[in-house]
């Protein structure tokens, strides 16, 4: 059986094929859980600091790419003294097989956790093709 979802990038985004961004920031690879269920596949990506307006999800050919933009603006009147973790955007790509119904993919974001629901496509049904005589 062909895997419905295949991870394209494992660590940091260093692919020459990645989209060139005009924003100068670190881009992290979010941790993702992939759960296959009977009728669908669930992708759960941790992208802390990302809100729904900062998420961009594209599906081009067989590649599903998620990009999360983190707003790094410091609130007015405050100054960062110490930072214990890096702030940056998130990007990760997956190869989607033909088992996924591309038209029915849904995404939700809650507190920096992106959930993608990838419904499985119905299996191709056998169809009898009628043969007609040419006159």
The per-residue pLDDT for range 72-131, each reduced to its tens digit, is 777 888 888 887 877 889 999 999 998 899 999 999 999 999 999 999 998 766 778 889
Give residue-wise pLDDT tens across range 19-61. 555 667 889 999 999 999 999 999 999 999 899 999 999 999 9
Taking the mean position of all CA atoms in its chain, how far away is CA 65?
4
Over 59-119, what HEC string results?
A: EECCEEEEEEEECCCCCCCCCCCCCCCCCCEEEEEEEECCCECHHHCEEEEECCEEEEEEE
**Residue 115: both structure tokens together:** 């959930």
The 3-state DSSP composition of the chain as helix, strand, coil percent (nearest 5) reads: 0, 45, 55
- In this structure, what DSSP letter does residue 45 have? E
Res 66: pLDDT: 97
Q: 131 Cβ partners below 8 Å, 6+ apart?
A: none
> What is the set of domains in the chain, with CATH numbers?
5-12+26-71+84-119 (2.60.40.790)
Record the tokens describing residue 97, joined without a space: 């097989």
């Amino acid at each position: 059986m062909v895997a419905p979802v295949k991870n394209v990038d494992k660590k940091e985004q260093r692919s020459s094929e990645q989209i060139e961004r005009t924003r100068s920031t670190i881009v992290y690879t979010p941790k993702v859980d992939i759960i296959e269920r009977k009728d669908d596949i669930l992708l759960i990506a941790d992208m802390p600091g990302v809100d729904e307006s900062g998420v961009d999800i594209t599906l081009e050919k067989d590649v599903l790419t998620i990009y999360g933009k983190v707003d790094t603006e410091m609130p007015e009147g405050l100054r960062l003294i110490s930072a214990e973790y890096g702030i940056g955007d998130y990007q990760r790509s997956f190869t989607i097989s033909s088992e996924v119904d591309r038209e029915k993919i849904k995404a939700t974001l809650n507190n920096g956790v992106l959930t993608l629901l990838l419904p499985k496509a119905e299996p191709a049904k056998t169809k009898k093709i009628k043969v007609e005589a040419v006159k």
